Chain A
Amino acid sequence: MNPVDAREAITLAHFAEWARVVASLARRFGDLDVAEEAAAEAFATAVERWPVDGVPPNPGAWLTTTANRRAIDRIRREHKRLDKHREAMLLTDDTPPEPLGAIDDDRLRLIFTCCHPALAMEARVALTLRLVGGLTVPEIARGFLVQEPAMARRITRAKGKIAAARIPYRVPSAQDLPARITGVLAVLYLVFNEGYLATGPDTDPVRADLTAEAIRLTRLIRMLLPGDGEVAGLLALMLLTEARRPARVSTAGELVPLGEQDRGLWSEALIDEGHRLVRERLASGVAPGRYQLLAAVNAVHTDARDARDTDWSQVVALYDQLVRLDRSPIVALNRAIAVAELDGPDAALPIIDRLESALQGYHAFHATRAELLRRLGRPGESREAYDRAIALAGNSAEIAYLAHRRDDLD
């Protein structure tokens, strides 16, 4: 066996099978800790065995069987006096291979458990990336600029709460499902945004590993819940945003705003896929939710081959719809940015000024004001607004861009 081929097979199996192995173990043993550790051991065993013995014909089945044995070993070790009946049950419970639908349900159960609303948001993010995404603790810690032991504690604590408070391992009832799906999507969108607009002075402005993982997990959920409009909407939103990543940071490390990006660098494949999803949702005739509307805004942007061709009236119309669903001042700010393009900065500035009390701690509020004041020929006030935006911004490329814009005022 060529060790390179074996390594590649393990990488592929990790992508394809990790969540499935963890999910089926979690169902069988009712313990996420056992499931995670046994899955990790099974993959470690594959790393040892596959280069020597060859890649098994069905890697997923091999990993599940190996992980099951490891889990039973661990349970035996921990309950040295495991009663004979239960031990026999564990040993003989060689349930025949699950039909596909049931396996998918396992992964959905796992996702809903990791994103349970009784867990803190940061715990949901960490658990989802570890148990569903299969990222290692050091990878997750790096992604969120947290020390490894702190991230490990966060995950351990969340698993402890799931066990102690008996957070159930199941797909929520039809009545709770929409709200719980919204909760799952919020976790994935947070992971994506942390990758897309990474914070921290000494970090890459874009962390592509996080955006890629968020897209991969959203694709998985889309496969499991193909009829859900907001799942499709979030996937489209991520794809249309990710498509612009190659044009988003200049070689000098400065953020390049949408209007100035080299649109030839955008990924056509991702744009096509995103547009297909947006069209599919439009054709459904069902009223769009928040993510679908944001995806539609991004579809308008990526439709324009030149920034000057952007259909701003369409963007404003979409934000008008979004404002009705989401009263957040950030949505109102983004709407005002579109109004500035459609009706001019003098129309947008009063709208933005009304948001000051809600958004004075948000860098994008000051950056937007600075830009409008610059266009209105008020450089003194514009400079002040840039200074406040720079003081509040966390992304290194964005700070570089804002400083450059400010210095251009001279």
Chain B
Amino acid sequence: MTALPAPLRQHGPGERLRGAEIDALAARAREGDRDAFEQLVVATTASCYQLAYRLVGNEHDARDVVQETYLRAYRGLKRFRGEAAVTTWLHRITVNTAARALERRSRSATATLDDDIELVEMRPDRLPEPAASAADDRSRLVAALGELPDGLRLVVVLRDVYDLPHRDIARELGISQSAAKVRLHRARRLLRERIFPARRAHAQATTGIPADEAG
């Protein structure tokens, strides 16, 4: 089993049990203890949902991903050998399920998704002021993440939010490492353009030199 890095093993705010206690629940559930499995679900749902939400970008799909994740976990519990923490295993299933859900979503979408899509600010009157607060920037970033093309959002969330190495991201998404990197760099460019859209114009205005020509 792929060992996900520590950040993916942390528990969400709704989880009061510690990792060892959650692993003990999983061991009992593997022996057929239904109550233990239910407690495991209660203890881990919040972090799985938060991961799913950040990957798929909306509540409806995130709920579906979480349900599918636990169904797969329930079916595969006997095969879980406890080599990694159970939360790591659940998060791995969540990532895989989210990737499959997004793949299905993109296949059924009538419009094709273009990775080179430009994020358009629909409310130009709300473009950020240079001194916008960090909280505002974070809120805008969360919104911009939700608007990224699915394939780009998956990679940037796993890499820059959850600190997964490129190798693991590529393996979980079934793509090459170089493809994962290309997607990541595109995502960062799009996010930078979205979060700091007025800065280039601001720099140009203050220096009088178009940014593209300044070099």
Do A and B come from the same complex? no
Interface residues of B (CB under 8 A from A): none
